[in-house]
Amino acid sequence: MSSEEILKLRQEAVAKLQSIYGGDADMVIADARYGFISGLLKDVLKKPPVERLSLSDKIDKIIVNRWLGIPIFLGLMYLVFQFVFTLSVPFMDWIDAFFGWLAGYAANISPDWLGSLVADGIIGGVGSVLVFVPPIFLLFIAISILEDSGYMARAAFVMDRLMHKIGLHGRSFIPMLLGFGCNIPGIMACRTIDNPKDRLTTMLVNPFMLCGARLPIFILLIAAFFPENQGIVMFSMYILGILIAILMAWIFRKTLLKGESGHFVMELPPYRLPTIVGVLTHMWERGKMFLQKAGTLILAAVIVIWFLSSMPWGVEYASADSWIGHIGNFFAPVFAWAGFDQWQASASLIFGFLAKEVVIGAMGTMFAVEEGLLGNVLATQLGWTPLIALSFMVFSLLYVPCVAALGAIRSETKSWKWTIFTAVYTTAVAWVMSVLVFQVGSLFV
pLDDT at site 7: 76
Judge whether 58 lies within some domain: no
Q: What percent of the chain has pLDDT over 70?
A: 91
Question: Is residue 260 in a domain?
Answer: yes
Pair (158, 112) in one structural domain: yes
Note the pLDDT of residue 352. Answer: 87
Q: Averaged over 345-373, what is the pLDDT?
A: 80
- Confidence label for 257 from pLDDT (cuts 50, 70 and 90): confident
What stretches of 206-229 show up as alpha helix (H) in DSSP?
215-225
The pLDDT value given to residue 33: 76
Confidence (pLDDT) at 358: 82
Residues 398 and 366 in one domain: yes
CA angle 165/170/173 to nearest 5° reads: 105
Neighbours of 327 (CB within 10 A): 16
Residue 416 in any domain: the answer is yes
Closest C-alpha to 392, from 233, 162, 256, 258: 233
What's the domain range around 387?
69-442
**191 burial class (0-12, 13-18, 19+ CB within 10 angstroms)?**
exposed
Query: Does residue 169 have a pLDDT over 70?
Result: no
Within a domain: 232: yes
What's the domain count of the chain? Answer: 2
Distance CA 361, CA 363 (A): 6
Report in angstroms the alpha-carbon separations of 226 from 43, 389, 440. 65, 9, 19
pLDDT > 60? residue 304: yes
- In the predicted model, what is the mean pLDDT of residues 118-131? 74
**In the prediction, which pLDDT does 375 show?**
77
Residue-wise pLDDT for 31-54, tens only, equals 777 777 777 777 777 766 656 667
Q: Is 383 left (phi over 0), alpha (psi -120 to 50) or beta?
A: left
Contacts of 320 (CB under 8 A, 6+ apart): 326, 328, 329, 343
In a domain, 93, yes or no: yes
* Residue closest to 252 by CA, chosen among 30, 421, 72: 421
Mark whether 31 and 119 lie in a shared domain: no
Residue 204 has pLDDT above 90, yes or no: yes
Which pLDDT band holds residue 285 (cuts at 50, 70, 90)? confident
Average pLDDT over residues 245-268: 80
* Shared-domain flag, residues 34 and 176: no
| 35 shares a domain with 75 | no
Question: Binning pLDDT at 50, 70 and 90, where does residue 240 land?
Answer: very high
| Position 53 in a domain | no
**Non-local CB neighbours of 310 within 8 Å, separated by 6+ positions:** 113, 116, 317, 322
Mean pLDDT of 248-256: 90
Distance CA 354, CA 361 (A): 12
Q: What is the pLDDT of residue 266?
A: 65
Is the pLDDT score of 245 beyond 80? Answer: yes
Q: Output the CA angle 323-326-328, nearest 5 degrees.
A: 110
For residues 319-347, give the mean pLDDT.
Answer: 91
Looking at the fold, whether 127 and 251 belong to one and the same domain comes out as: yes
User: Does 8 score more than 60 pLDDT?
Assistant: yes
Average pLDDT over residues 91-115: 79
How large is the average pLDDT for residues 201-217?
A: 88
Comparing CA positions, the residue from 217, 250, 240, 218 lying closest to residue 359 is 217
Task: Write down the mean pLDDT value for the chain.
Answer: 82
- pTM to 2 decimals? 0.76
Predicted local confidence at residue 83, as pLDDT: 82
Are the CB atoms for 175 and 202 separated by under 8 Å?
yes
Assess whether pLDDT exceeds 60 at residue 371.
Answer: no
> What's the CA gap between 440 and 431, in Å, rounded?
14
CA distances from 342 to 200, 328, 331, 429, 443 (A): 36, 8, 9, 21, 22
pLDDT above 70 (res 268): yes
Residue 53: its pLDDT value, please?
67
**pLDDT score at 22:** 63
| pLDDT recorded at residue 420 | 95
Strands (E) across 68-120 are located at none
Express each pLDDT in 380-435 by its tens digit: 888 899 999 999 999 999 999 988 889 889 988 989 999 999 999 999 999 999 99
Q: How confident is the model at residue 261 (pLDDT cuts 50, 70, 90)?
A: low
**Rounded to an integer, what distance in angstroms lies between the CA atom of residue 351 and that of residue 345?**
10
pLDDT at 56 over 70: yes
* Cβ count within 10 A of residue 237: 21
**How many other C-beta atoms are found inside a 10 Å radius of the C-beta of residue 210?**
24
Closest CA to 196 of 253, 246, 250, 155: 253
CA distance 403 to 162: 31
- Same domain for 171 and 39: no
pLDDT at residue 262 in the model: 61
Same structural domain for residues 238 and 302?
yes
- Residue 251: other Cβ atoms inside 10 A: 16
Residue 342 lies in a domain: yes
Distance CA 174, CA 199 (A): 12
Residue 207 — pLDDT band, cuts 50, 70, 90? very high
CA atoms of 106 and 5, how far apart (whole Å): 79
> Does residue 9 lie within any of the structural domains?
yes
Same domain, 204 and 313: yes
Half-sphere exposure (CA, 13 Å, Cβ side) for 164?
10
35 with 177, same domain: the answer is no
Q: Among 109-118, 187-196, 310-319, 368-377, which is the least confidently predicted range?
A: 368-377
Examine the domain organization and report whether 28 and 124 are in the same domain. Answer: no
Task: Assess whether 217 and 284 both reside in one domain.
Answer: yes
User: Amino acid identity of 359?
Assistant: V
Neighbours of 435 (CB within 10 A): 18
